[in-house]
Chain A
């Protein structure tokens, strides 16, 4: 199993940390992982993206341009990465701010209204974990037990009290993900 993922959105949406938690969880589950951020001018408040690879084998290149899954959190990222999803792959997006919907017919498309749901529940800070939950529902590349371990490893000790809220957000994400199209 090798899963090559891009997570893309605005800076501040928790894109990088979502990728980090996913990578940590994979590592805890004894998988090979890599986490490769975009860095540079876009670090300063613009778009942010990170590619994460989780694999049972040694990872050759951590730099990838075609993805098994694209997790998309704004329109710019949808425009940029829709065409980089491998045929038969997965596109998961949050509809908040999306005006031009994905058009590909050869990929599986899912929607998670995490922005709306997290605001409604007063859980804005764990928005990204809802998205992660939705992804794990579609592609269970790591099990829940290891998500908790990944959180423990990636969060500093002083933030460990937030882990239950994060896990709850993952659960909500799993519940609210909607299938738009499957191939």
Chain B
């Protein structure tokens, strides 16, 4: 019989939460990828020893309160404008580590111009782009990345290309811009995927340290609430439906597109 008191004895601890995350209880739905993505970003910041240099730009969307969880100086941006804030701050503080944390609606719909132009200027920032194909916070409306046929609150009969246009693969578009240095697409739905995603985040912040230009990490994630599925089903659905449209893997490394 093992008691709680024994489990939490220092010698029995196998894992501690990084200090770059606060003790605030996250508001994310159970099974959502945001918690894991927050954790790997925070761990990289801690491991690189850049907590005092890191500045987080939070979006509007499910991660609007990201600044309550990242224990770094933070700013909440207007919807879609995070890359504009990041541009200014990184230029004003060139040795800091400014990163944006944005969802698909924020980054690929309302903030398309800011995203494209920050990347095109090769701003020395890190962009974490969480793509779950839906507007989570506002209650499950269609996003630019919503798949064809996918049902949402504003595409109740499924996304129809004649009515809504096509899913936007903004990550591939950004890879065409000379300003982007590192572009990758990852996921966090299995332990192996989490480890790979964390490596990508680390590479992004290393690039930034070496002033290489824009590093952009898309993380294809689930939204079991918005998709109206259990968390395991959502992950399975993501593998079967999201990954074919948004394939996992590096797209551009060291400024060179990866040949497929």
A and B touch in the complex (CB under 8 A): no
Binding site for A on B (CB under 8 A): none
